[in-house]
Structure 1
Amino acid sequence: MTPLERAVRGGAVPLPDLPPEAVGLLVELGAPARLGAHLRAVYAVACDLTGWLAAAHPAVVFDRAAVLFGAATHDIGKALHREELSVPGSRHEPAGERLLLGRGVPARLARFAGTHGSWHEARAGVEDHLVSLADKIWKGARVEDLEHLVVERIADVSGIAGWEAFVSLDDRLQELAAGADDRLAFQNGFPV
């Protein structure tokens, strides 16, 4: 089993395997194992976050399958801009969206590669916010303005006070952030 295969599925880690379509893209691109491990960690958080949101706030309507695809592929452009696996950069975002579109991925799914770092973009909706949130909280990072967008959505459609929506989301994010060290250790166990 190659390092990439170990990063994206199976093993002794309590993370769900990446979906086959994401794995296929990574293998086809010869992606580094570190990228596969990162996508798997973010995907795991997105699975948890979307499951919680659907159960705790069923009035919030969103395309869970789209969010999960977005989480599993949001950084695919780093297969082309590998330097951004170890230094900050955003060239991977438009490159990833173009790459997915070029491989026949519908625009409604490919967009997450382009919006995950720019959640205030006009085309960014609740699904984009959830992908961005998973991409932050997987490592324990909290981003107030991003979280506020999700809190507003929960409060607006659920008919609850903003503070109630905040407490609900904040509790879940704290629980998710508590697993950040294990996810970081998993990711950092693979080469760039």
Structure 2
Amino acid sequence: MTATPSDLLSRALNACGEPPLRPLPAVVAELLRSLEAPPRLAAHLRLVHDVAAELVAWAEARYPELVWDRDAVLFGAATHDVGKVLHPGELSGPGSDHETAGRDLLLEHGFAPGLARFAADHARWGDTDAGIEDLLVSVADKVWKDKRVPDLEDGLVRELAGVSGREPWEEYLALDDLLTRIGADAARRLAFQVAFPVGA
């Protein structure tokens, strides 16, 4: 029996994954169901959200003095590409139309501007006054597939050094160690994502 698009979306949202994946926030999973999101998009959002959760746990342990919104990071990672529902060609090809479309879509569904911003800004960390939350979402969106972006990571290191009072090189070494460990599972994450179709 052939799986329906709804079945495939459910699998993308609920499959254990390898490595094991955390579920998306319930409000995000419900939104993706209501939008009949492509299964590959749901799989991708789970992967980036899962990596963001690792980054959040690390930051909480290393920077107890950090004042930030950890839930915003997790929501931002879980919805950063939601605009690809409206621009499905960008699931398998280049394009940035999904960014403002995603922000607008989240606003239309009643999400606060402070949460919707991640959909528009996750690829523009150098063009905005990106804070810790924004930088963590952007890093998660890169390192899930073991892509390292020096300018992005340098921005995060500067922010973290400003919080901790430690030397930037110390913060770089700690972040590099974490991102190297996360990147080691990239092949398994990519395999999980491509197991789901781009369309119905």
For this structure pair, what is the TM-score category when the shorter chain's length is used for normalisation? over 0.9
Of 127, 135, 153, which residue of structure 2 is paired with 1:147? 153
Deviates more, 1:5-14 or 1:19-28: 5-14
CA apart distance, 1:191 = 0.2
Tell me, yes or no, if the aligned pair for 2:9 and 2:42 is still in contact at 8 Å: yes
Of 62, 66, 74, which residue of structure 1 is paired with 2:68? 62
CA apart distance, 1:10 = 3.7
Tell me, yes or no, if the aligned pair for 1:60 and 1:153 is still in contact at 8 Å: no
CA apart distance, 1:144 = 0.3
Identity score, percent: 53
- Return 5+ residue gaps in structure 1 as ranges: none
Match of 1:3 in 2: 8
Q: Tell me, yes or no, if structure 1 residue 41 matches structure 2 residue 47.
A: yes
SS at match of 1:131: helix
Q: Would you say how many aligned residue pairs link Structure 1 and Structure 2?
A: 192
Of 86, 102, 112, which residue of structure 1 is paired with 2:92? 86
Deviates more, 1:1-10 or 1:68-77: 1-10
Of 25, 33, 40, which residue of structure 1 is paired with 2:31? 25
- Return 5+ residue gaps in structure 2 as ranges: 1-5
Aligned pairs for 1:160-179 within 5 A: 160-179=166-185
Tell me, yes or no, if the aligned pair for 1:74 and 1:114 is still in contact at 8 Å: yes
Q: Tell me, yes or no, if structure 1 residue 187 matches structure 2 residue 193.
A: yes
CA apart distance, 1:61 = 2.3
Give the superposed CA RMSD. Answer: 1.1
Structure 1: distance between partners of 2:90 and 2:185: 24
| TM-score (norm: length of structure 1) | 0.97
